Chain A
């Protein structure tokens, strides 16, 4: 199965770090891990991606386990605008890059 496994929901407080876990135990050696988030009534928005090593950008950090069977998206200081559904996705390469979405984690940020 190409889909990933994430908790249905998580809650955190404003200005605290948030660690969003993802399990992708069937991942192959060439599959990238992408994270997208979706705010209400909007299309998904790219957050970060990685293959083997940890990655940082202005939005978040991505920590990938050494065996690549799991990863964690880290929001260093959550704000109320980070409340969204976060999708951890495997990028499947079959003719084109195809993202296979799971149900995602709904993140609630408390003020």
Chain B
């Protein structure tokens, strides 16, 4: 199993540009999550999904959109990039069990200038 795969690893955007961060998992997990991590800080939840076709907002959803058309994929869309969105983005997945651990990808480092 590859686990959770995120692409790209790095990206530089200009203010106002758009992009999609890709996330795919091969563990047949129901739940998927997007977190962001600012320098020296813990992770904050952006969006999550409990299954294909179902998504919901986390702590910091503004400026982002998600979709979940398949169990495997959970892309994160930035529509109008702003410098405040400069961060490292982590995708994660887990089984539907109350105590299931989350499996994280290795992140996408995004810089908006």
Q: Please give the residue numbers on chain A whose beta carbons come within 8 Å of chain B beta carbons, in ascending order.
A: 30, 32, 34, 36, 41-46, 49, 51, 87, 91, 93, 95-104
Contact = CB atoms under 8 A, between A and B. Distances in A.
A46 B50 contact: no
If over half of A's interface residues share one DSSP class (helix, strand or loop), that class is named, otherwise mixed; here it is strand
Nearest to B59: A100
A89 to B, nearest CB: 9
6 A-B pairs with the lowest CB-CB distances in the bound complex, closest first: A43-B104, A101-B42, A46-B101, A101-B43, A96-B50, A103-B42
Nearest to A31: B98
B90 A43 contact: yes
A64 B14 CA distance: 47
Contacts, number: 63
A92 B89 CA distance: 21
B44 A42 contact: no
Interface of B: 4, 31, 33, 35, 40-45, 48-50, 56, 58-59, 90, 92, 94, 98-107
Contacts of B48: 96, 98
B27 to A, nearest CB: 13
A44 B99 contact: no
A97 B98 contact: yes
Nearest to A32: B99
Given A97-B94, A98-B33, A99-B43, 18 more contacts: A41-B107, A42-B106, A43-B105, A43-B106, A43-B107, A44-B102, A46-B103, A49-B101, A91-B99, A95-B56, A96-B33, A96-B50, A96-B56, A97-B102, A98-B48, A99-B45, A100-B59, A101-B35
Contacts of B41: 103
Contacts of B33: 96, 98
A30 B43 CA distance: 22
Given A96-B31, A101-B43, A104-B42, A44 B100 contact: no
Contacts of A102: 42
